[in-house]
Structure 1
Amino acid sequence: MESGLTVRKREDKSVMEKLRILSDAAKYDVSCSSSGVGRRGDGTGIGNTLAAGICHSFGADGRCISLLKILFTNECIYDCKYCINRKSNDVPRASFTPDEICELTIQFYRRNYIEGLFLSSGILHSPTYTMELIYEAVYKLRTFYRFQGYIHVKAIPGADPGLVERMGLLADRMSVNLELPTAEGLKQLAPNKHRKSILWPMRQIQQGITQSKNEIMVYKHAPSFVPAGQSTQMIVGATRESDYQIMMVAENLYQKFDLKRVYYSAFISVNEDKDLPALPEGPPLLREHRLYQADWLLRFYGFEAKELLSEKKPNFNVLLDPKADWALGHLEQFPVEINKADYRSILRVPGIGVKSAQRIVRARRNGNLGFDDLKKIGVALKRALYFITCNGKMMYPTKLEENYIARNLIDGKEKLPFDRDGMTYRQLSLFDDVRAAGWKQMNA
């Protein structure tokens, strides 16, 4: 039982002190990239969400968009072993009030610091109690403050489904963190959380989105439910799942819950616990990077998880990106003749991304393409030249042999997300989607 003095000390914190604590506490949640949803202002309120611009790191027009990213509270009734905010940790605690959330958002927006809000939270008293406070903040922001910008809210597993439903009519995106890839991992490191309670709100949000789309088709002005879709996050490296297991889970989530994004967060050791892995070389950031690359292949390139990995080959190659590694293992499908191959085959060539493949299919209608044409289109010929022909000829005499191609691709020094010192990998930040888009094309 807390003393009255302790409670008063927490209540006496200034809004700026709370902001410092709760923005820092939110940095471990990487799943708050927005998606370009269109929520146009009606002229009576503040802010708007345009499909051309609202994206945490890049929009369709390339603009970088910033969100106010905070926790409602870092108080928590749970004791997850990997979490800095677990109840057994002695860390500074703070909680906003709904009105403070509203004032912060509006003041930051008016100063042109942000264009949207990402709001997550620890669990204060109970999931339903916490969700009620978050709902009150978002409801006031939308109605009393007339804020019509982008809002991403975490749905809290175990909260009253009615609150999740009402929140879905106010938020642009909602997400439910899967936390760890498997139920066994949750049991080991987060015994208060259960897979079924996490998947339940995911299913509810999915059904709400589907129902809303159907109603809008019939009634044009029907209310929109979570128009930017839902996402989730998995911690990578805290438990012993292989890359194959993680990708199978991600694929299952995309297929069964219609998720927009699965985010992968390299485990960062912030607590001392015998059940947590030792990380002598730091967080598994290169592994996180490979998972993101593979995720692009699932979402945009038509790959299945079982094509990229298997039980016999459970983890990604640290030296090669997943697409190049797959191509080296399937050389019988190459070389691909650019002027005759179908779109799917062209898309699987290392060095050719989605936009380049689309341009190739369009451009060859006007005549056969050569290597100079491919370069203009945007194909990374340094990677693609081993896997393609133009008019039956390769760019240079080369051997279609695994070790030979692998040596040349590795010598190409794939660009990875380095820290400023150029020596260590850094975790993908919330502003890295624009870089990820570049990596997708570069490492295609």
Structure 2
Amino acid sequence: MDSKVTDKLKILADAAKYDVSCSSSGAKRKNENKGLGNAEGMGICHSYTEDGRCVSLLKILLTNHCIFDCAYCVTRKSNDVKRAAFTVQEVVDLTINFYRRNYIEGLFLSSGIFKNADYTMERLVRVAKKLRQEYKFNGYIHLKTIPGASEELIKEAGLYADRLSVNIELPSDVSLQQLAPEKNYREILVPMGNISQQLLQAKEEKKLFKSAPAFAPAGQSTQLIVGASAENDYQILQLSSKLYQDYSLKRVYYSGYVPVSSDNRLPIITEPPIIRENRIYQADWLMRFYGFDSKEIVDEQQPHLDLDIDPKLGWALRNRHVFPVEINTADYEVILRVPGIGMKSAQKIVSARRFTPLHFEHLRQMGVVLKRAKYFITCQTKSLQRQDFASEAIRRKIVFGDGSVRSALLTQQLDLFSKAG
């Protein structure tokens, strides 16, 4: 590999690491006409498929030159960093060569903004178009849509990319104006809406014409930075819920704020808020797969997620009137809300109980985490718990463990307080 290209790769791959809005593709692009690669059942960016296989992609920026000066961004124009830019052909060559060496299974391409949005977006589209049409590349391609780019360019991008994403970055327009004054919510939400409409239109056309061209078959995603601005978890999850409902996003990704530059508009932190980021991901999972509304998880009175316990357990402890749940008769949707029971376990429970009454040992074999679930369920009206603990006592026992001295003492004290009250 040319030494100049190698130097560029080091700079632009490192700059791309802060963008987390990529994961398993979900695309089904098949290899046709003896082309190169495919996206059948594949994923991207060191993600894991359902069978446990790890897959990867070439994740780079087209350039880290940028006309914007976003306070939180490593490529902001006022940052004193090494700058570089790939040509369209260099990105194509890197993708093909890395794929042939079995280093990657796809491409994730983003970019800083040079000159203007359309100028940058046009080059991103040229990369994808060249890979598809000239090199017959059928692997996964994820293109980052540049805010402010024209509708025509976004539509063309969707013809060659498996997934498109527009990073909303901050949870409110107020914060965006404060930390990224050259950007605005309209330039982000308009293309997001255009992509959503194109996805719907392509789906309808496919029903009528099998040969209709696909448009971003793996959908669209976005990224929110957590901790760079003052919004609480309630505001973040409310926004995510709205994005899922209004724009049919496949994923909202959350990135704990990493201090990459000095700016008095940014909070002073010693390390990224990793635990908070993880709790928000768990809450997002509850909204997408477990039937929870965002307001059930956090609300205006309790706007912050509990960092010590997962949000599903937090909801259960606040809603003890729903429990205990009788495993042999409860609806699937209710079983899903029991801490320690995941989607696969809930499906196994509903399927298995048609043939035999279930006992706790059955649940253990199905993968149910009984050290959590036992406080919230019964099997044939029987419980593993000899007494009904107060919510705070359950919380302590789960956090510190059933056998810990501290847990036992706290549990006794809390039970006494509960009875006294």
Q: Normalised by the shorter chain, which TM-score bucket?
A: over 0.9
1:386 corresponds in structure 2 to: 375
2:358 corresponds in structure 1 to: 369
Q: How does 1:349-428 map to 2 (within 5 A)?
A: 349-412=338-401
Q: Which runs of 5+ in 1 are unaligned?
A: 1-11, 414-444
2:75 corresponds in structure 1 to: 85
Q: How does 1:9-24 map to 2 (within 5 A)?
A: 14-24=4-14
Residue of 300, 310, 316 corresponding to 2:299: 310
Q: How does 1:188-267 map to 2 (within 5 A)?
A: 188-267=178-257
- Answer whether contact 2:222 2:251 (CA < 8 A) is retained: yes
- Deviating runs (4+, > 4 A) in structure 1? none
* Coordinate RMSD, CA, aligned: 1.2
The alpha-carbon deviation at position 412 of structure 1 amounts to: 3.9
1:47 corresponds in structure 2 to: 37
The alpha-carbon deviation at position 400 of structure 1 amounts to: 3.9
Partner-residue secondary structure (3-state), 1:383: helix
Partner-residue secondary structure (3-state), 2:222: strand
Residue of 21, 26, 42 corresponding to 1:36: 26
Separation in 1, partners of 2:353, 2:326: 12
Separation in 2, partners of 1:260, 1:395: 39
- Answer whether contact 2:44 2:105 (CA < 8 A) is retained: no
What number of residue pairs does the alignment pair up?
A: 400
Separation in 1, partners of 2:343, 2:25: 18
1:301 corresponds in structure 2 to: 290
Which amino acid counterpart does residue 360 of structure 1 have in structure 2? Answer: I
- Answer whether contact 2:171 2:236 (CA < 8 A) is retained: yes
Partner-residue secondary structure (3-state), 2:54: coil
Is 1:97 the counterpart of 2:96 in the alignment? no
The alpha-carbon deviation at position 220 of structure 1 amounts to: 1.0
Larger RCO of the pair (alpha carbons < 8 Å, separation 6+): 1
Is 1:152 the counterpart of 2:142 in the alignment? yes
2:418 corresponds in structure 1 to: none
Q: How does 1:120-139 map to 2 (within 5 A)?
A: 120-139=110-129
2:321 corresponds in structure 1 to: 332
Deviation per CA, 1:162-194, whole angstroms, max 9, x where unpaired?
Answer: 111011010000000001010001011000000
- Answer whether contact 1:75 1:123 (CA < 8 A) is retained: yes
Separation in 2, partners of 1:400, 1:327: 13
2:97 corresponds in structure 1 to: 107
TM-score, length of structure 2 as denominator length = 0.93
Separation in 1, partners of 2:201, 2:315: 39
Partner-residue secondary structure (3-state), 1:14: helix
The alpha-carbon deviation at position 43 of structure 1 amounts to: 4.0
- Answer whether contact 1:34 1:228 (CA < 8 A) is retained: no
- Answer whether contact 1:36 1:60 (CA < 8 A) is retained: no
Partner-residue secondary structure (3-state), 1:358: helix
The alpha-carbon deviation at position 36 of structure 1 amounts to: 2.3
The alpha-carbon deviation at position 75 of structure 1 amounts to: 0.4
Which amino acid counterpart does residue 355 of structure 2 have in structure 1? Answer: N
Identity within the alignment, %: 55
The alpha-carbon deviation at position 212 of structure 1 amounts to: 0.5
Separation in 2, partners of 1:120, 1:146: 21
Which amino acid counterpart does residue 262 of structure 2 have in structure 1? Answer: E
The alpha-carbon deviation at position 401 of structure 1 amounts to: 1.6
TM-score, length of structure 1 as denominator length = 0.89
Is 1:319 the counterpart of 2:308 in the alignment? yes
- Answer whether contact 2:44 2:106 (CA < 8 A) is retained: no
Which amino acid counterpart does residue 101 of structure 2 have in structure 1? Answer: R
Which amino acid counterpart does residue 154 of structure 1 have in structure 2? Answer: K
1:6 corresponds in structure 2 to: none
- Answer whether contact 1:36 1:59 (CA < 8 A) is retained: no
